[in-house]
Chains A and B, each alone.
Chain A
Amino acid sequence: MPSLCLTLTLHHPAHLKHYSFFDIGNSATYEDESKTAEAVNQFASECVLPATRIVLKQLREYDGDFRIALSISGCLIDQFERYRPEVIDTFKALSDTGHVEFLAAPYYHSLASAFSIQEFREQTLLHHTRIQALTGTAPTAFRNTALIYRDDLACEVEALGYQVMLTPGGDRFPGKRNVCGVYRPTQGSLLKLLANHDRLSDDMARRFTHSDSPETPPTSTGFARWLHQVHPARGGVIPLSLDLGAFARLSPDDTGLFLFLNQLPETVLLHQEGTFITPSQAASPRPAPPLSSKEFITGENPGHDLSPWMGNEMQQDALNALYLLESRVKGCPDQTLLKTWRLLQVSDYFLYMNTHNEAFPGPAHPAMPGDSPYDAYINYMNILTDFSERIPG
Chain B
Amino acid sequence: MRILMFGWEFPPHISGGLGTACYELTRTLSRHGNIITFVVPRAEKQAKKSPVHLVAAAGVPLPHSSSVEEFFQSLNLKTADSILRPYLTDEEYPLVLRDATGGETNKDQPGATPPTSLYGKNLMAEVARYSEIGEELALKEEFDLIHAHDWMTFLAAIRAKRATGKPMVAHIHALEYDRSGDSINGGIFEIEKMGMEAADHVIAVSHYTRNLIISHYGIRAEKISVVHNAVSRHQAPRVYHVPHDRKKKTVLFLGRITSQKGPDYFIEAAARVLEKTQNVMFVMAGAGDMLPRMIERVGELRLGMHFHFTGFLQGHDVERMYAMSDLYVMPSVSEPFGLSPLEAMIYDVPVILSKQAGVTEVMPHALTVDFWNVDDIANKILAILKYPALSRELLRNGRKALRSIRWEVAAERIQLIYNKLAV
Contacts and interface: CB of A to CB of B under 8 A. Distances in A.
A88 B368 CA distance: 41
Given A313-B389, A355-B365, A360-B364, A374 B379 contact: no
B389 A372 contact: no
Interface in A352-376: 355, 360-361, 371-372, 374-375
B166 to A, nearest CB: 39
Contacts of A377: 387, 389-390, 393
A375 B276 contact: no
B58 interface: no
Given A314-B389, A355-B393, A21 B383 contact: yes
A250 B365 CA distance: 28
A20 B394 contact: no
Contacts of B397: 355
A312 B389 CA distance: 9
B364 A372 contact: yes
A154 to B, nearest CB: 32
A312 B383 contact: no
B367 A374 contact: yes
A381 B387 contact: yes
Interface string B143-158: 0000000000000000
Nearest to B380: A378
B293 interface: no
A192 to B, nearest CB: 40
Interface string B378-391: 11101100110110
Interface residues of A, number: 20
B330 to A, nearest CB: 16
Interface string A6-27: 0000000000000011100000
A317 interface: yes
Nearest to B361: A361
Contact of A378 (B276, B365, B375, B383): B383
Contact of A313 (B378, B382, B392): B392
Interface residues of B, number: 22
Contacts of B375: 20, 22
Contact of B389 (A317, A371, A382): A317
A4 to B, nearest CB: 41
A378 B390 contact: yes
Contacts of B368: 371-372
Interface string A216-249: 0000000000000000000000000000000000
Contact of A22 (B272, B364, B394): B272
Secondary structure at chain B's binding surface: helix, strand, loop or mixed? Answer: helix
A292 interface: no
A382 B385 CA distance: 12
B201 to A, nearest CB: 28
Contacts of A374: 365, 367, 390, 393-394
Contacts of B376: 20
A21 B381 CA distance: 10
B48 interface: no
B13 interface: no
Interface string B382-418: 1100110110111011000000000000000000000
Contacts of B276: 21-22
Contact of A21 (B364, B382, B389, B396): B382
Given A21-B276, A22-B379, A378 B393 contact: no
Secondary structure at chain A's binding surface: helix, strand, loop or mixed? Answer: helix
A317 B383 CA distance: 13
B393 A22 contact: no
A316 interface: yes
A313 B379 contact: no
Given A374-B393, A378-B380, A317 B387 contact: yes
A392 B311 CA distance: 49
A316 B364 CA distance: 21
Contact of A20 (B364, B379, B390): B379
B393 A314 contact: yes
A317 B364 CA distance: 21
A375 B367 contact: yes
B58 to A, nearest CB: 45
Interface string A323-364: 000000000000000000000000000000001000011000
A316 B367 contact: no
Tell which of B364, B376, B386, B393 has the most Cβ of chain A within 10 Å: B393
Interface in A206-224: none
A378 B387 contact: yes
Nearest to A373: B393
Interface in A305-323: 312-314, 316-317
A273 B396 CA distance: 54
Contacts of A372: 364, 367-368
A376 to B, nearest CB: 11
Contact of B379 (A21, A312, A317): A21
Contacts of A312: 393, 396
Contacts of A22: 272, 276, 375, 378-379
Interface in A26-76: none
A205 to B, nearest CB: 25
Interface string B350-376: 000000000000001101100000011
B383 A313 contact: no
Contacts of A361: 364
Contacts of B389: 313-314, 316-317, 377
A25 to B, nearest CB: 10
Nearest to B391: A313
A385 B385 CA distance: 14
A385 B390 CA distance: 15
Tell which of B272, B368, B379, B396 has the most Cβ of chain A within 10 Å: B379
B4 to A, nearest CB: 38
B121 to A, nearest CB: 49
9 contacts: A22-B375, A313-B393, A313-B396, A355-B397, A371-B368, A372-B367, A372-B368, A374-B394, A378-B379
Interface of B: 272, 276, 364-365, 367-368, 375-376, 378-380, 382-383, 386-387, 389-390, 392-394, 396-397
- Give 4 nearest A-B pairs by CB, closest first: A361-B364, A317-B389, A378-B383, A313-B389
Given A316-B389, A372-B367, 4 more contacts: A20-B376, A21-B386, A317-B387, A378-B387
